[in-house]
Structure 1
Amino acid sequence: MGLNAELIFSVQAESTTTPAVNGNYVAHINPADGGCLLEKYSDKYSDCDFGLLSNVYASEGKPGKVLEVNVKKRTGEDNFVSCMKKTLLEHYGDRSVGMGGTFILQEGKAKLHIMPPEFSACPLNNDEDVNRWLKFFEMRAPLICQSVFVSHDPGLDLRLEHTHCFSHHGEGGHYHTDTTPETVQYLGYFHPAEFVYRIDKPSVTHTVGRD
């Protein structure tokens, strides 16, 4: 694309019986007004390339049992994904459990960010620097969110939770939390991962910008 953006994955891989389907969305800053511009990735770009980093959950798409989570009214500080991640950590301890799936913010609003189109001209040395550089928005339901989270890092330098959202009303980006705890409602479907693959692990790492 030639600029920074938030990619929301929804891909069906090619098989012997079905063609590849690129259902990805991309959210980036609208140069006209500085707001959110959400587009179908396949409308302008024929491939599924991405840069920097990504957390992707892959499945065979077969029917089977899943974990349904249907909740409303947030009572604590943690967001929806963090609550599930902490529950797994408390139950399994050092045994790492990864989950992936889709949830819908059915009611309420959420805090999302979109990266600016250009990288920062100065170093981003801590989370405060990153948050000053990012563009934050309050976006409204319904938001369709693709999420991956891991209860415990088994030494692979993983991002423990990562969620990107799209909608059918032109809003999307990287999910942080809901902003309407009294009225928020979530419905999600998740499945545990059998394997985790760490691709291109950096030789030098950091903990900045991992929320």
Structure 2
Amino acid sequence: MSVTTHPRETPDLTELATVIQTSLQSNFTHATAIVAQCPDLRQPPFNLAAPGLSGNAKVADIGGQPNLFPQPNMEAKYSMLSIAKDMQMSSRKGFLIGAGAAPWQDIGHNAELAPNFSWTSESQNWNLEDPGSLQLQNNTHVTEVKEDGSSACHSLASTNCALMMNLYGSEGISGPVIKITARARTGEGNFTNVIRDGLRAHYGEDKPISLGGVFLLKSGKAKFHVMPDFPRPEDLPFRDRKQLENEWIRYYLFEAPVVCLTVFHSADPENLGLRMEHTHCFETEGARKGGHYHYDVDGGQEVEYEAYLHPASTLYRIDPPY
């Protein structure tokens, strides 16, 4: 697979927090962004596979939406452990979270994936032929459409994915992060895109910032989508994107609490065809809520977010579908 490496701007965390807070205050009645020591994200309500977001932070964009439209590219199957190697992550210790398509090759159908796993190993070299050489903590979740049209969210032991994936990788250690709180939305933008817009306005198109991390929908309600299984061969290809978005994808409104894993960028100056924002979510109780985050609803007055984000110093573009 093609792998290219691209440096990203990593301003001082205090500077980033100031930019983010200013942007959010234009869209929420109450918003703060500060530099804080990351809490232990392994604990509820986040339930991540590592305590923090720090340590050689980087992001990757793998595959892409053209692998789905106009018809699924069934050859676009990936191992996220192999991707970790492509991201020049250490085999000794690492942590990946993000958003993408579930490994249909493992579960037998298409679905949404929220990867969330960490590993340790005594080996200094990747041994992908022997997955048992890694000690895995896998808290990954998949959200799927059931036959009756309802959604189901459950854990998944696989470390594979398909079609498209956006990942934030680090050593998973505790350290300083940007802690964000926001409630009572007054503007039109969603939580992640308001942050993106503020970063782009401040740093411009030529100084791209890439961030990853986790946020909690603490209260309120938000819109999500879940991809169902692939259409029958006779129903492909999709006529157009409108058919894919309006007739095939399933939409749901879920109430808080929901945990959301996110990767996003302020700009794409190299024209890499990046997915500029990708957020997938899950709940650890109830086995229903999950999928791709769109935006909060009901006017935003009841909504409240809590986020922990960290910038990445390097972006890897892997297997672009063009």
Distance 1:119 1:100 in 2: 32
TM-score, structure 1 as length reference: 0.89
Distance 1:75 1:62 in 2: 35
- 2:309 corresponds, among 190, 193, 209, to 190
Q: Is the deviation greater in 112-121 or in 77-86?
A: 112-121
Aligned residue pairs, count: 198
CA deviation map 1:33-76 (0-9, x unaligned): 2100111112xxxx311100000100111221100110001111
Would you tell me which structure has more strand in proportion to its own residues? 2
Q: Please, which runs of 5 or more residues in structure 2 have no aligned partner? A: 1-106, 124-133
CA deviation map 1:171-194 (0-9, x unaligned): 111000111311000000000011
Would you tell me which structure has more helix in proportion to its own residues? 2
Distance 2:320 2:216 in 1: 31
Matching of residues 86-101 of structure 1 within 5 Å: 86-94=197-205, 95-101=207-213
Identity of matched residues, %: 38
Q: Is 1:59 equivalent to 2:175 in the alignment?
A: no
> Is 1:104–1:186's contact at 8 Å kept on the other side of the alignment?
yes
User: Structure 2: which amino acid aligns with 1:114?
Assistant: V
Per the TM alignment, residue 124 of structure 1 is displaced from its structure 2 partner at its CA by: 3.6
Distance 1:72 1:198, change over 3 A: same
- 1:149 corresponds, among 253, 264, 285, to 264
Matching of residues 170-181 of structure 1 within 5 Å: 170=287, 171-180=289-298, 181=300
Matching of residues 1-211 of structure 1 within 5 Å: 1-16=107-122, 19-31=135-147, 33-42=148-157, 47-94=158-205, 95-119=207-231, 121-124=235-238, 126-132=240-246, 133-154=248-269, 155-167=271-283, 168-170=285-287, 171-180=289-298, 181-203=300-322
Secondary structure class of the residue paired with 1:57: strand
> Is 1:5–1:116's contact at 8 Å kept on the other side of the alignment?
yes
Distance 2:146 2:163 in 1: 21
TM-score, structure 2 as length reference: 0.59
Per the TM alignment, residue 16 of structure 1 is displaced from its structure 2 partner at its CA by: 2.6
Distance 1:76 1:5 in 2: 31
Secondary structure class of the residue paired with 1:196: strand
CA RMSD of aligned residues (A): 1.6
Per the TM alignment, residue 125 of structure 1 is displaced from its structure 2 partner at its CA by: 5.4
> Is 1:4–1:119's contact at 8 Å kept on the other side of the alignment?
no
Distance 1:148 1:184, change over 3 A: same
> Is 1:8–1:24's contact at 8 Å kept on the other side of the alignment?
yes
CA deviation map 1:92-124 (0-9, x unaligned): 102111000000000011100001112372444
> Is 1:10–1:24's contact at 8 Å kept on the other side of the alignment?
yes
Q: Which structure 1 residue ranges, 4+ long, deviate > 3 Å from structure 2?
A: 122-127
